[in-house]
Amino acid sequence: MKWLPPVVALLVGLIGGYLLSGSREPGGRVVVPPVDSEQVLTVELADGGSTHSLEDAVGRSLVNNVGITAAWLASLQEQTPFDQIGALYARLQRASPADFSAILESLGDSSQAINRLARSMLATKWAESDPVGMLAYVESRPHRERWRLQKGLFGAWAKSDASAAYAAAQSVVDVRFRSLAIQAVVRAVAVEDATGALQMAELLEDPRSRNMSIQAVVQAVAAENPQRAIEIAEAQMAAGALRYAPHLFSDIFSQWASRDATAARQAALAMPDSPMKVKALSGALQQWVATDPMAALGWLEALPVDSSVYNSRKAVFRQVLNQDFDIAKAFIEAESDPVSRREILSQLYVNNLAWNRSYEEIESMLDWMGSVATGSLYDQKVSDVLGAMAESDSGRAVDFMLQMPPGNARMNALGTIARIMAGQDPVAALAFAQSLEYEDEKRRALSNIGNQLPRHGVANASELIASSEDPLVQQQLAGRMVGEWGKYDRNAALAFVESLSDDQARYTAVGSILNHWIQSEPVEAMNYMQAALPQDRLSSNLSAAFSQWARQDPAQAVVWLDQLPAGARAQQANIYNRVAQAYVQHDPMAASEWIGALDAGPERDATVKVLVNHISKIDPEAGFIWAATVSDGNDRRNSLNQVVRGWVQADPAAAYDAVIDATIDASEKELLFKMIEQSQTK
């Protein structure tokens, strides 16, 4: 009868909720307070006025020797919640561990209330009477069912034999389920013995599992003793055992405030300025914000401000003001300080407030926004409102936008409208963009459309772009689409590019494909580019492609620089320069070794200048030595001047000695000496 106390507790809780709640939904539905699987799973019971059925259970082979049949379960719907629970309890008492798996499987995954209740009561009894047998059953179940059952199993097992439950939890093979099991054990132990639960958690070798288990202990303790939970959390964080977990403080103080809101708020305010204080304040205010948001906001506003109070206000603003537009309006209009008002407005998310509102209601938000927002914030919020208007009625939103005066608000609005229309109807969005009178507005709209088009399928998008007679459409949209397309179907992407009628669009789109193609098939990519592009576009596209390649794999990119096609030779130094910029930022030492091995000439000079720019501020002596190796006279003088100009500010004597020892022309030395002397006379 070990499982009797949990079931009695369940009976009391469900009956009390049923009799005391007094609130029923239409149709006679009674909502019973949720209970987790350690107490018993969430239950919704239906009285005789609802239409809860057990059709999914009819025809199943239930366990007849304990009297649980489909027909019997169906008959319980006519009974009161008290009688349903009592009847189930009486029948389940007859069941033995050998029956449990058959009963659970017969009940299935039905979400019907009586089935869920029966599963929960049975799982509680099984976990306490034969946990090893239940564990074998649980581990054989599909992931979803196993996830639901395992927490209840280990929680109940820990209450009767914590050591055995803990050992079994550590033996679970699957890492995710092992962590869940351990957390269930330590959470159950923590209710009566927080110190023992912490010792269990601290024994875990895996840092993530240890951290999650300590959090479980803190959460379990917080339910009964939030002050003690805070002490544990702070001590564990100080010891490095509990990683940065501000959300814990939100949970703790939320539970504390449900018992003593004033004490919770004062304790949160007394904390040192930190992210934990922000979460503590937010948690302590959670219930107050839900019941009386204006009072809670007023209390926050009246506090002396430190960074935690400031950030807590922002968090509460986001929570409250984005749930009720009328509350948002009242609070913002009551704020007289323009800086504070802008800060509050910046936390306002129009899409949340516009949800399920009519077009007219959303448009009225725009009128109000014009009375409280100014400058760039107004431009941003107008765009947000126009976006919500377009979601409701894109045609009317376009008409409204066209009446707006020139400026950032109009430009932002048309971009947002174009993006939303492209998500709804790409043809209409493209027609809207092409209807715009000014080219800068057309470009903005097409730019926002480009990110949405591939979502409708590359076949439809490519046909829409290629069929357009407007060169700007192809120029703005083709390159955006083929970059990703070329990663998985290069031939189709290239065929689309070759079908474009606008040369500029075609060259740009080819470059988008080349950026990835050259890294996997460099010979084929460069041969294709040499055949498909004029010389000037070949060089610029190769420069961009090698620059991206060098950012992702510089060592491999420099290997292929020797294989540049003949058509790119005129701009070869520029390509080397772009590669050097990426390589030097990633690994200056490796880059300097590569540069040092290059033959003298324009390509080496281009890379040396990049290296000098990068190192001269942190190591001017090395920068000076490298600058002196530039072969082109003008470039060498410029690089030397750059290094010495900065060097003399920190160490003019060292700069002077370096010039004396340098193996450069006397005329170049003379200019550098004059620079040093002039710096001394200032």
Check residue 128 and give its pLDDT. 83
Alpha-carbon distances of 539 from 65, 270, 556, 566, 578, rounded to whole Å: 84, 64, 19, 10, 12
Instruction: Measure CA 545 to chain center.
Output: 30
* Helix spans in 467-571 (H): 471-488, 490-499, 503-520, 522-532, 535-552, 554-559
Place of tokens 């007679």: 469
Check residue 46 and give its pLDDT. 33
**pLDDT band for position 609 (cuts 50, 70, 90):** very high
* More confidently predicted of 27 and 406: 406
Tens digit of each residue's pLDDT (9 = 90 or more) over 165-197: 999 999 999 988 999 999 999 999 999 999 999
Bridge partners, 24 (sequence order): 30
Domain positions in the chain: 598-681
Place of tokens 């701009």: 571
Q: Which pair of structure tokens corresponds to residue 594?
A: 């590569």
Task: Give percent above pLDDT 70 in the chain.
Answer: 89
Q: How many CB atoms lie within 10 A of CB 441?
A: 18
Mean pLDDT of the chain: 84
CB-based burial, 406-424: b 16+ in 10 Å, e otherwise: eeebbbbbbbbbbbbbbbe
- Residue 507 identity (one-letter amino acid): Y
Check residue 545 and give its pLDDT. 94
386 CB burial (10 A radius; 0-12, 13-18, 19+): buried
Euclidean distance between CA atoms 511 and 540, whole angstroms: 9
Euclidean distance between CA atoms 41 and 37, whole angstroms: 4
> Which pTM was predicted?
0.67
- Residue 334 identity (one-letter amino acid): A
Place of tokens 């709209």: 445
**pLDDT band for position 315 (cuts 50, 70, 90):** confident
- The predicted model gives 430-454 an average pLDDT of 93
pLDDT at 336 over 70: yes
Task: Give percent above pLDDT 90 in the chain.
Answer: 52
Euclidean distance between CA atoms 412 and 102, whole angstroms: 63
Q: For residue 98, report the phi and psi dihedrals to the nearest 5 degrees.
A: -65, -20
pLDDT at 25 over 60: no
- The predicted model gives 271-300 an average pLDDT of 88
